């Protein structure tokens, strides 16, 4: 069944059913299907972000739509995680051709719903319109913790730099999917999972804020690029030890020559990069090490913030390293 | 200068400058350029909506980008108006080809900024990504008045039906622009203005809520289609007198044969359709008539809500009228 068979309003009815939640949401006074959503809030600091995925750019027509839905929400939740907040509500804007399969859009919304349920995020509204190709824009509204938020501009010379999780796994997964690289099944599972189902670091972001971290950014564009953003916003520089980068053993094994390049410039890792003084960092490492859980992730100190501007990469002996890609820019020629 | 010349982050810098506001915004703690925007709210009911405009569907490559920006925000503000609320913050997601002129995107954002300034809406964040064509998704977050909100589901049999402003002017403007129809300059000014720069009925929506109206919808899809939505959501029907439709004299003159069809099915009028009991309606008409101002708009009773489902159109003698388009569906074949 095509979208043109049931029309805009038929599609909205179908997709509203998919994202409808069974959980009581007494604070939501108007849900999907009206001119706007309405919900009650207490006095607080709100957070809001938006991200877009375009067919042929961020996913291919052969992508599994469930994964596209998961990832389109995950990228937004990662932004909320980088502020140290709690995501609450999502709005979804779908632009699509009239010969799109309704079932594909159902699976897309099932992927959104699945991840949303994990993190307590309700889809409260959205919009459907016609376009020559599929474009998915999600917006997420959340709340900051009472302790505060993390921003890109709060890093200071003397801070240590650290990251959550592993770097380069998502880019390795993209290669595994597109270039037919041979690798063990367990390696493939790790890297493809990292690429198709990134896990937003909501719990980690909140842990950081509670331990006193105030400077963070998510590294969806790649460590090199996003560290540059953090440094520029903070009027500072950084030095990163390449031998400390938390590259998953499976990635080092499958891509021995390229692993460091993937970790620095691959992008789409959706991990958090943050900066904090040594005392706060000690508290973070102690608190993070004490947690248990299936999705627990390592936290690794990879360098430090410097007073001199610019990002320098150094090897195990502290010598400068050149020639690694700086990260992802959606428009730069050859970027 | 093309977007590819300055890159994603260069473009974000340029556009952030365009939408930056001079007005103090002490409640905004994190503005554009971080992972998410942050602002403080009091205990209240929030409203959120999103709308998308696609190149080749909602505007042509020959469109003036300033108008595209205005309209992309206006359509979202109209949704907030239909709830009777106050718009506050906007996020903008731009998808665009890498050979897009930077100046075009500057004008787009100038149009957004201009309308935002009029209604006190600040652009607090957004996203830029690459796509084969321009797609603009805006999200607006606002606040409900303490008096409550208007929804599509609150109409009841016995209510009178009324609309703000004029119907069919936007569709007439589209024809004036695309079909080269001859008309006096003042007529052209009215209809083209209605099409390119729709005025969101924020003041009128708030007036309605304050006078006790609780059932409303914006008629961006056309009176016929959106009245159907109001009736279905309210489990009711409606009867509309075609001779009461507030069609601007300029539209009747320029399109004598088609004026009623444009008013019922043309779409994009961004007026409010609302339902209320006779006493509330009397208060609304008294309050609306008492206001003055350049952008004041008429409020016209056009029919009533019925217990029987379905929408019937009747002529001056109360006889049924057939054969008028039901409104706009983005996907239906021949719709």
What was the pLDDT predicted at A21? 85
Mutate which of B271, B330, B332 to test chain A, going by most A C-beta atoms within 10 A? B330
What was the pLDDT predicted at A326? 53
3-state secondary structure of B256: coil
B36·A131 Cβ contact <8 A: no
Give the up-direction half-sphere exposure of residue B191: CA atoms within 13 A in the CB hemisphere: 32
A30·B149 Cβ contact <8 A: yes
pLDDT bracket for residue B152 (50, 70, 90):
very high
* Separation CA A279–CA B210 (nearest Å): 54
Question: How many Cβ atoms from other residues are within 10 Å of residue A99's Cβ?
Answer: 10
A49·B37 Cβ contact <8 A: yes
Mutate which of A26, A34, A36, A123 to test chain B, going by most B C-beta atoms within 10 A? A36
The domains of chain B are located at 3-143, 160-314
- Residue contacts between A and B (CB atoms, under 8 Å): 251
Mean of pLDDT values over B156-164: 97
Residues of B in contact with A125 (CB under 8 A): 48-50
The CA–CA distances, whole Å, from B236 to A231, B55, B97, B99, B157 equal 59, 37, 46, 51, 7
What was the pLDDT predicted at B321? 84
Could you tell me the maximum CA-CA distance found in chain B, to the nearest angstrom? 65
A273, A216 contact by CB (below 8 A): yes
pLDDT digits (tens, 9 = 90+) for B272-293: 999 999 999 999 999 988 555 4
3-state secondary structure of A14: helix
What was the pLDDT predicted at A156? 98
Q: Is the pLDDT of residue B327 over 60?
A: no
Mutate which of B10, B12, B33, B34 to test chain A, going by most A C-beta atoms within 10 A? B34
* Separation CA B31–CA B38 (nearest Å): 7
A41·B46 Cβ contact <8 A: yes
- Supply φ then ψ for residue B87, to 5 degrees: -75, 145
Q: Is the pLDDT of residue B334 over 50?
A: no
Is the CATH number of domain A160-314 3.90.650.10? Answer: yes
CATH architecture of B3-143: 2-Layer Sandwich (3.30)
The CA–CA distances, whole Å, from A171 to A135, A245, B154 equal 22, 15, 51
B331·A130 Cβ contact <8 A: yes
B49·A91 Cβ contact <8 A: yes
**What is the full per-residue pLDDT of chain A (335 aa) written as tens digits?**
999 999 988 999 999 999 998 888 889 999 998 999 999 999 999 999 999 999 999 998 788 999 999 999 999 999 999 999 999 999 999 999 999 999 999 999 999 999 999 999 999 999 999 999 999 999 999 999 999 999 999 999 999 999 999 999 999 999 988 887 888 999 999 999 999 999 999 999 999 999 999 999 999 989 999 999 999 999 999 999 999 999 999 999 999 999 999 999 988 999 999 999 999 999 999 998 855 544 568 999 999 999 999 899 998 888 888 766 555 555 654 43
pLDDT digits (tens, 9 = 90+) for B36-93: 999 999 999 999 999 999 999 999 878 899 999 999 999 999 999 999 999 999 999 9
B144, B85 contact by CB (below 8 A): yes
Sheet hosting strand A160-164, strand order edge to edge? A215-218, A272-276, A160-164, A299-306, A237-241, A310-314
CATH fold match for the domains A3-143 and A160-314: no
Residue indicated by tokens 């540059």: A228
B17: Cβ–Cβ under 8 A, 6 or more apart, which residues? none
- Name which of A146-150, A290-294, B27-31, B216-220 the model is least confident about: A290-294
* Separation CA B259–CA B242 (nearest Å): 11
């Amino acid at each position: 069944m095509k979208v043109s068979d049931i029309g805009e309003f038929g599609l909205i009815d179908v997709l509203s059913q998919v994202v409808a939640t069974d959980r009581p949401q007494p604070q939501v006074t108007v849900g999907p299907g009206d001119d706007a959503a309405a919900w009650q809030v207490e006095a607080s600091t709100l957070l809001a972000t938006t991200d877009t995925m375009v067919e042929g750019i961020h996913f291919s027509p052969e992508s599994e739509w469930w994964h596209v839905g998961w990832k389109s929400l995950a990228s937004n939740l990662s932004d909320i995680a980088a502020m140290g907040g709690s995501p609450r509500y999502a709005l979804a804007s779908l632009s699509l051709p009239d010969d799109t399969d309704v079932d594909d859009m159902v699976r897309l919304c099932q992927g959104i719903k699945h991840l949303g349920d994990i993190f307590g995020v309700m889809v409260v509204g959205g919009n459907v319109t016609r376009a020559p190709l599929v474009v998915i824009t999600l917006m997420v509204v959340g709340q900051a913790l009472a302790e505060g938020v993390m921003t890109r501009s709060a890093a200071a010379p003397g801070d240590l730099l650290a990251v959550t999780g592993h770097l380069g796994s998502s880019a390795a997964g993209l290669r595994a999917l597109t270039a037919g690289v041979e690798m063990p099944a367990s390696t493939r599972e790790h890297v493809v999972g990292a690429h198709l189902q990134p896990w937003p670091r909501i719990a980690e972001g909140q842990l950081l804020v509670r331990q006193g971290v105030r400077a963070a950014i998510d590294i969806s564009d790649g460590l090199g690029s996003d560290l540059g953003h953090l440094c520029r916003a903070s009027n500072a520089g950084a030095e990163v030890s390449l031998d400390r980068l938390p590259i998953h053993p499976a990635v080092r094994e499958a891509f021995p020559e390229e692993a460091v390049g993937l970790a620095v410039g691959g992008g789409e890792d959706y991990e958090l990069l943050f900066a904090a003084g040594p005392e706060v960092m000690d508290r973070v490492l102690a608190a993070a090490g004490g947690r248990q859980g299936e999705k627990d992730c390592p936290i690794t100190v990879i360098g430090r913030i410097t007073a001199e501007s610019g990002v320098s990469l150094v090897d195990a002996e502290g010598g400068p390293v050149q020639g690694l890609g700086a990260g992802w820019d959606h428009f730069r020629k050859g970027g």
